[in-house]
Amino acid sequence: MNLMEFNERFPNEYSALMSVKQLRDKQGVICRKCGYDQHYWQQTVESFQCKNCGARQRLRSGTIMEQSKLPYRLWLMAIHLVTATKKSFTALELQRQLGYKRYEPIWYMLHKIRTVMGKRDSEYELTGYIELDDAFFEVGDPHQKPNKAGRGSTGKAGVLIAVESEPTANQFRKKNRKEGRKCGKLTMQVVSNITGKHVESLVDGKIDESATLHTDGHKSYNILDQIVNRHHITISNDPKRISKLFTWVHTAISNVKRVILGIHHSVHSPYLQNYLNKFCWKFNRRYDQKNQFERLLHTGLQYRWC
């Protein structure tokens, strides 16, 4: 969908509201009081009313828009811009594009969108052959230098990154292949430290136990021997060899760092996960560009942001 098509589909606030209403109808509205699934639509109060007990439910309730006063059309336009643009953008840029007076509601809206992107992706588990590595991201004030380099320094946040990297029979380099490996789904998790406990929690939530994990042999990854099917370790001082063997995880790390440094310059640590959520969500749907708007809108109506 381009901007012209968006304007044709949602020419005004009413059309946006009715699209949200129809989509919620399609997903199925369940009464919070009695669990009944049949409702009347009350246009004047923008609410569903249960046919059994009469309890009302606002159109926004239980969705990403709950507690927001921003118009529906603005939400849909933000979702459109997030999904239709290749490059990332800041909340300030979004505020400019939407022509909205206040910055804070737009900033919150964008973070809510990024939060539900993460919620949706957390339902998938990575499987098969997986490259796992960690990286440190500078967080907070960009002008404040971190105290020390490497693992665990202040001013930096640790992130565990895992990406499916299936070996393929076809050795030719194609757009989605490197050195005979096909890149699948990606996940990134901010952790307070890179320890065995954190690695275990990543595997618990986001990686199938039957997977084979490939790491650089850092001691935090020893735990993998006990919790996944297979754990391959490569210890090497040869950067070329390492970059070949961890080709996709290193590509993901450098790309996300470029986005964060290039566009957002610096992020505050509590929000880093949200930036990573958005990066992963878009990456995981890179071959389904044309349906990204519908998919994100659908997700936004299914998940509350808090």
- Name the site residues for Zn ion (rule: CB under 5 A): 31, 33-34, 36, 50, 52-53, 55
Nearer to Zn ion, 48 or 136 (CB): 48
- Residue 38 C-beta: closest distance to Zn ion, Å: 9
Q: Are 205 and 223 in contact (CB under 8 A)?
A: no
Q: Where are the alpha helices (DSSP H) in the chain?
A: 3-9, 13-27, 72-84, 91-98, 104-121, 196-206, 224-227, 239-245, 247-259, 269-284, 292-302
Nearer to Zn ion, 34 or 92 (CB): 34
Phi/psi class of residue 179: alpha, beta or left (left: φ > 0; alpha: ψ in -120 to 50)? left
Residue type for position 199: V
* Residues found in the chain: 306
Nearer to Zn ion, 55 or 70 (CB): 55
CA distance 266 to 275: 11
- Residue 27 C-beta: closest distance to Zn ion, Å: 17
Nearer to Zn ion, 46 or 208 (CB): 46
Nearer to Zn ion, 24 or 73 (CB): 24
- Token representation of residue 210: 């039957």
- Residue 49 C-beta: closest distance to Zn ion, Å: 9
CA distance 149 to 214: 25
- Residue 35 C-beta: closest distance to Zn ion, Å: 7
- Residue 29 C-beta: closest distance to Zn ion, Å: 10
- Residue 156 C-beta: closest distance to Zn ion, Å: 50
- The number of C-alpha atoms within 13 Å of 102 and in the hemisphere containing its C-beta is 6
- Token representation of residue 302: 């299914």
- Residue 53 C-beta: closest distance to Zn ion, Å: 3
CA-closest candidate to residue 130, choices 202, 192, 220, 219: 202
φ, ψ of residue 298 to 5 degrees: the values are -55, -45
| Residue keyed to tokens 């210890």 | 235
Nearer to Zn ion, 14 or 40 (CB): 40
Interacting residues of 258 by C-beta distance below 8 A, sequence separation 6+: none
Nearer to Zn ion, 47 or 222 (CB): 47
DSSP characters for 87-134? S---HHHHHHHHT-S-SHHHHHHHHHHHHHHHHHHTT--B-SEEEEEE
- Residue 59 C-beta: closest distance to Zn ion, Å: 16
Nearer to Zn ion, 50 or 186 (CB): 50
